[in-house]
Amino acid sequence: MGLGLCLRIRGSDWMQNRVVMLVDFDYFYAQCEELRNPALKDKPVVVGVYSGRTEESGAVSTSNYIARKYSVKSGMPLFLAKRKLEGTDAVFLPVDHEYYDQISNRIMQILQGYASSLEQVSVDEAYLDVTEQVQGSFEKAKDYAQKIKNEVTEQVGISFSVGIGPNKLVSKIACDSQKPNGLTVVKPEEAKSFLAPLPVDRLLGVGKKTSARMDSLGIKTVGDLANYDVQKLLAIWGKILGVYFHNAANAVDNEPVQEQGEAESISRIGTLKQDTKDLAFILQKTDELTDDISKELADKNLSFKQVAIYVVLIDLSSKSRSITLEQTAKDPETIKKNVKELFGKFLSETPLEVRRVGVKVSGFSREEPRQKQLTSFFQTTKE
């Protein structure tokens, strides 16, 4: 068989050529309120959390785009929003999470049907891997997104914005670039130049402190960061963050769209046969727990990045300690070694005896090195 078949796209495991969508519902809580009361649609609508002390105290959760014209913003004190909307027919409503969750679930269910995998990141946001559905084509992806939008509008009556890109990082920023009711496509070959002019703090993980530091190095835009000497980034931020910044600025992000329902952590807890401060005695128990965790990891083919311990002391107070590994691991020895280290340190810090212990691993990724994936892929299609 010829090259045609070799290049057939196999959904999310064809990591180099994915089509990822980020769907973000527009002014979500306020739009839900408009949905059940359409008379609100042409008024400023503010949904807030009322703290209950006085009628005015509390903060804005969100507002519709009419209210935003009066510079009402999420997180703003309600009294300030009221002041900004003085003289208008603005409507203020308390949050109704149960109702928003219901609507969110209905939309997520529809979205699920359009993707190979869906990762819900919040009540109003989800990543979809649609590589297979659109045969890797970004032109088709745009029509496909429009189709999904129409379907959700018809079925639920809620509008959302979509960003389409070669990975989660780009699709998220694409989505943010055009709201509400946006549909923004950034093709792989445009991704770097799309990000380049943006301020560097648009990247996830670049907060106030980091962007100030970057600014002092002359890094103002994502493009500046992409061009910055990667060795210097590593020297300043360490390997993990340094590599992340470099990759992100270059629009590189291999994080898979993680199917829903997949555990975020695996943990086991057990009670010791007797209260103790003896490390060896504790490790006997945690080794048992670790073996059990390792079986589940192997079954699910997961690697982890964090190891944590959980401790209940004799006064019934509980504590936890965790460590992030330099590299992902999947073997029980790595867990045991880190658990030993964490407990060694913990026991030296507390005078109390330990009653219950737990072990937890998290920060999962699937163990599928690209090399292996590619070879096995070509093997199955060769002929």
For residue 298, CA distances in Å to 164, 330, 359, 366 come to 33, 8, 16, 10
Q: Encoding tokens for residue 10?
A: 């196999």
Given a contact cutoff of 8 angstroms between Cβ atoms, the answer to whether 107 and 121 are in contact is no
**Residue 62's binding partner, choosing from Ca ion, ligand DGT, none, with beta-carbon cut-off 5 to 8 A by kind?**
ligand DGT
Ranges within 272-301 binding ligand DGT (CB under 6 A): none
The distance of closest approach from Cβ of residue 159 to Ca ion in the complex, given in angstroms and rounded to an integer, is 10
Q: Out of 62, 250, 290, 334, which residue is the one contacting ligand DGT (CB under 6 A)?
A: 62
Q: How deeply is 287 buried, as exposed, middle or buried, from its count of CB atoms within 10 A (0-12, 13-18, 19+)?
A: middle
Residues 85 and 217: their CA atoms lie apart, in Å, by 42
Query: Would you count residue 332 as binding ligand DGT (CB under 6 A)?
Result: no
The helix/strand/coil state of 106 is helix
Say which amino acid occupies 189. Answer: E
Q: Out of 10, 82, 106, 179, which residue is the one contacting ligand DGT (CB under 6 A)?
A: 179
Interface stretch with Ca ion, choices 36-44, 116-124, 234-242, 250-258 (CB under 5 A):
116-124
Which residues, 6+ apart, have CB-to-CB distance to 123 below 8 Å?
28, 100, 101, 104
Query: Would you count residue 74 as binding ligand DGT (CB under 6 A)?
Result: yes
How big is the site for ligand DGT, counted in residues (CB under 6 A)? 15
Given a contact cutoff of 8 angstroms between Cβ atoms, the answer to whether 217 and 228 are in contact is yes
Query: Would you count residue 24 as binding Ca ion (CB under 5 A)?
Result: yes
Query: Would you count residue 33 as binding Ca ion (CB under 5 A)?
Result: no
Q: String of b and e for 263-274 (b: at least 16 CB within 10 Å)?
A: eeebbbeeebee
Does 125 qualify as catalytic in the annotation?
yes
Q: Out of 124, 129, 132, 253, which residue is the one contacting Ca ion (CB under 5 A)?
A: 124
Residues 335 and 286: their CA atoms lie apart, in Å, by 10
Q: Encoding tokens for residue 297?
A: 């990891």
Given a contact cutoff of 8 angstroms between Cβ atoms, the answer to whether 342 and 336 are in contact is no
Nearer to ligand DGT, 67 or 118 (CB): 67
Give the nearest residue (CB) to ligand DGT: 62
Query: Would you count residue 26 as binding ligand DGT (CB under 6 A)?
Result: yes
Please choose, from the candidates 225, 223, 257, the residue with its C-alpha nearest in 3D space to the C-alpha of residue 241: 225
Query: Would you count residue 244 as binding ligand DGT (CB under 6 A)?
Result: no
The distance of closest approach from Cβ of residue 48 to Ca ion in the complex, given in angstroms and rounded to an integer, is 16
The helix/strand/coil state of 128 is strand
Query: Would you count residue 75 as binding ligand DGT (CB under 6 A)?
Result: yes
The distance of closest approach from Cβ of residue 160 to Ca ion in the complex, given in angstroms and rounded to an integer, is 7
**Residue 77's binding partner, choosing from Ca ion, ligand DGT, none, with beta-carbon cut-off 5 to 8 A by kind?**
none
Given a contact cutoff of 8 angstroms between Cβ atoms, the answer to whether 103 and 32 are in contact is yes
φ/ψ (deg, to 5) at 148: -65, -40
**Residue 338's binding partner, choosing from Ca ion, ligand DGT, none, with beta-carbon cut-off 5 to 8 A by kind?**
none
Query: Would you count residue 52 as binding ligand DGT (CB under 6 A)?
Result: no
Residues 183 and 181: their CA atoms lie apart, in Å, by 7
The distance of closest approach from Cβ of residue 174 to ligand DGT in the complex, given in angstroms and rounded to an integer, is 14
The distance of closest approach from Cβ of residue 99 to Ca ion in the complex, given in angstroms and rounded to an integer, is 16
- Residues at the contact surface with ligand DGT, assessed by CB under 6 A: 24-29, 49, 59, 61-62, 74-75, 124, 179-180
Q: What residues are labeled active site?
A: 125
- Residues at the contact surface with Ca ion, assessed by CB under 5 A: 24-25, 28, 124-125
